[in-house]
A and B are shown apart, each in its own frame.
Chain A
């Protein structure tokens, strides 16, 4: 049975940092969004009552380090210490521009690039790669229109 529309393999997530498409170097990605829970429980409540607070988000990315011009390492080094825009799409087309839709949304967020591992990690027999978590500096906005271009 084919998977229902809207369920995808995780091998086509697209990621752009500062408008540079680094999808080809990403081996895994996790975008986490959460709201603070504020306790507004008062007298005569019989359970805790929680209210929505501020949103927090993180983007965790594992990627292969590549020092080629305009590639992932140069992009991130230039962004180090600054806030940049990250754009992600659930399923990036293998070629050309991808159009967002309700079943293939785009997520846009500001990230504070406050940590990098420019030399990557690993030993003599390993590919140098990084496992980084960045803090979001804005809400995470899901859109179902617009395009994601490489």
Chain B
């Protein structure tokens, strides 16, 4: 498994695609 990089996490959060509190280690977004 590959964790999201901090840069990627921030980009997803800014786009509203990842909750600000989420800190996933697998899929970057699971709805």
Query: Which of A's residues lie within 8 Å of B, judged by CB?
Result: 18-19, 84-85, 87, 97, 99-100, 106, 108-110, 138-139, 141-149
Contacts and interface: CB of A to CB of B under 8 A. Distances in A.
Interface of B: 1-5, 8, 11-12, 15-17, 24, 26-31
Contacts of A87: 27-29
Contacts, number: 66
A85 B17 contact: yes
Most buried by B among A99, A110, A141: A141
A87 B28 CA distance: 9
Given A110-B16, A146-B2, A146-B4, A141 B11 contact: yes
B5 A145 contact: yes
